[in-house]
Structure 1
Amino acid sequence: MERFFAQAEIWRQSNTLLRVIFTKRKVGRKDFSGRIVHLSEDRSQLIFYNVDTKSVISLEVNEIDDIIDYE
């Protein structure tokens, strides 16, 4: 888990565009392109800016299925 948050912090600092695939209960599997705005290691939560819909999405770490960077 520490390694994940270390990588997420690197992505946040470099403002890397990411493809995030996640599963929410009662909603199902979804994906979006976005950037990490804030990460809360103590609450296991990440806040993303969704560039597709120009909105903010808050996800728990256990809801995230995959994160791929657009290098």
Structure 2
Amino acid sequence: MPLTTDVSDVEQWQGGDIVIFEKHIGIVSDRRNWDGVPYVIHHNDPWQTAYEQDILEKRTDIVGHYRISQ
């Protein structure tokens, strides 16, 4: 199901959600930063040192946010 792309609406972002960027896809983590914004699990380049990162607030290219529901 489609969800908000507004990162400031932190309650709408849950671990396991899928976030689509213009040229990238990630999975929302269950870990959050001090502001309550979740980390994203992704693989962006071969030199990336961590796959779970606090990048959601920094991205300006979010085009979708989805959750698989039953």
Bucket of the pairwise TM-score, normalised by the shorter protein: 0.3 to 0.5
Specify which structure has the higher proportion of helix.
1
Specify which structure has the higher proportion of strand.
1
What TM-score, normalized by structure 2, do the two folds share? Answer: 0.48
